[in-house]
Amino acid sequence: MCGIVGYTGKDQAAPILLDGLARLEYRGYDSAGLAVRDGDALAEVVKATGKLYHLADKTDQGRSLPGCCGIGHTRWATHGDPSLVNAHPHVSGNCSGSGSGQVESDVVGVHNGIIENFTELKEKLLRHGYAFYSDTDTEVVVKLVDYYYKKYKIGPVDAITRTMVRVRGSYALALMFKDYPGEIFAARKDSPLIIGTAEEASFLASDVPAILKYTRQVYYIDNLQVARVAPGSVKFYDLNGDEVTLPLTEITWDAAAAEKGGYEHFMLKEIHEQPQAVRDTLNSLIHESRIDLTAAGLTDDMLRSLAQIDIVACGSAWHVGMAAQYVIEDLAKLPVRVELASEFRYRNIPMPENTLVIVISQSGETADSLAALRVAKERDAKTLAVVNVVGSTIAREADHVLYTLAGPEIAVATTKAYSAQLVAMDALAVQTAYVRGAVSQEQYGHFIEELSAIPDKIKRVLEDKERLQWFSSKIANAHDIFFIGRGLDYAISLEGSLKMKEISYIHSEAYAAGELKHGTISLIERNTLVIGVLTQSELFEKTISNMVECKSRGAYLMGVTTNGNFIVEDSVNFTVYIPKTDEHFVSSLAVVPLQLLGYYTSVNRGLDVDKPRNLAKSVTVE
């Protein structure tokens, strides 16, 4: 949520800032703004509501804003309505803040996050003569920095650290000071922020794609640290104002990975990248026909000692956990509990000794998941992060890290990151089962062969996309869609339903098929679409029976099943077949047609597939 970019160097800043903001559009936003300083001149601030092109038009694609140092922002409204006056950047001066032009202000800043005690701080500043023009918590923070800066006659770093001690909440801040032209000061707590350097230029951003065009050398600023960014150099400080050293990280994935590559939408491109994402992730875990988790710090002795696994996640990552629960419990005979991170963090859940808490997050910055990780560590549980972003906060704070290799995922609705997480958890399940003696050497080899075959089988599923495109055109005007399944099929249904609702805006729910008669079947009426996932042989007939009950009440049926289950065609109106695989790993195949169905339905409804309304790629605030 919210996107921050910054640049200081020899080139004109505004076009670079606009380019960076465009690459962060997937984060979700309702307004945007720039602040650029031309040497000692006053900062020039320009804001616009709505899409980024309005800001680009206002500034002639950035060309009308002179200056080589600037910050930019795309805002997701939290405090205050989407409006010019609430859009970032915000200033310390007592001005309207609603339009464009030069501002007589000592501090100009942008912010991602939520300041929880901003009302208390605002009252303090009002008593000291500050006036406020917006409803945002960001304006309060900028003015608080200004207050300490002037009251104690200290430098920017000390003014910022005093502010950090005073505020509660999460934030990534980027600030410019009138007395320090050509420099940007940044601070971070829980909200993502990276800093990149190149020859005679420096960049900052909420995420790597914003600056990858310009540099591959980045620093991941730690929690409660401040950065002083100058052209080609950066210094870091802790809360005491003491300089600290951070490692420089080289981004290895290609910039083209964050481009559409000829596809109409990022989501469609990322659906088609799933075979490679799954293959790369498996190749990082399987060596010489054996699963090797030592890079994640997971030894065989540790896996043998586990008494329980708690999986904590949000959204699609939680659905990965739901699927993994079935697989781990069945293979490793180890109890698994799956919790929503937003609930886990507020519950005093008993944790027996040798509990492993697995936190799954694509970005590694999800606010609730990060908070849950910290709760687990406070309770002395072992922690494992399954994340896609190297150097992310969750990756740094967990005891162990299992990286997925999905590459950058731009579309808000996750596809390839989900699939990479799924196979990573499946590999963890197989290895845990093997070292605990729950599966034989022969079974172990079979499972590894089946996992290794998944990428090619996903390719075969993708070959059937034209049928799904046709079927989508028939159901694009549906008002309600129900996904049902039992066991692992229920976990798949959860993700299929989420894909449908988040990008097509059709009301969609997933239910355990056996629960239909406990209330849900009352919602079935003529032409209601019911999609059944039918991949588990022991549960197949029961789910078919539930679907037929829906059909007798007027429902229109679609079934997703494995090749050979042709009996499904006798009961449903439309059938999708996936290649046969070991039933423990079928989620990786069955989810793909559901992703495609959601995608094509969104396209048929004329919606913004990659940036659905009200959603953001990374939820970095509660």
CA distance 2 to 24: 8
How many Cα atoms within 13 Å fall on the side-chain side of residue 42? 11
Is 617 tagged catalytic?
Answer: yes
Q: What are phi and psi of 172, to 5 degrees?
A: -125, 120
Continuous segment of H or E residues that includes residue 531: strand 529-534
- Are 37 and 259 a contacting pair, CB within 8 Å? no
Q: Catalytic residue among 2, 68, 314, 550, which? A: 2
Choose among 15, 21, 30: nearest CA to 210.
21
Is 474 tagged catalytic?
Answer: no
Helix axes 587-604, 465-475, angle to 10 degrees: 50
Amino acid occupying residue 110: V
Alpha carbon 604 to chain centroid distance?
26
Q: In the structure encoding, which two tokens stand for residue 149, read together?
A: 């800066």
Q: Catalytic residue among 122, 178, 382, 617, which? A: 617
Residue at token pair 């307004």: 31
Continuous segment of H or E residues that includes residue 272: helix 266-272
CA distance 445 to 430: 10
Burial class, 124, CB count within 10 angstroms (exposed 0-12 / middle 13-18 / buried 19+): middle
In terms of phi and psi (left: phi > 0; alpha: psi -120 to 50; beta: otherwise), the region of 69 is beta
Choose among 84, 58, 52, 71: nearest CA to 14.
71
Which residues have CB under 8 Å from 548's CB, separation 6+? 571
**Which residues on neighbouring strands pair with residue 481, listed in sequence order?**
508, 529
DSSP 3-state of 355: strand
Count the neighbouring beta carbons within 10 Å of the beta carbon of residue 54.
13
- Are 526 and 554 a contacting pair, CB within 8 Å? yes
Active site residues: 2, 617
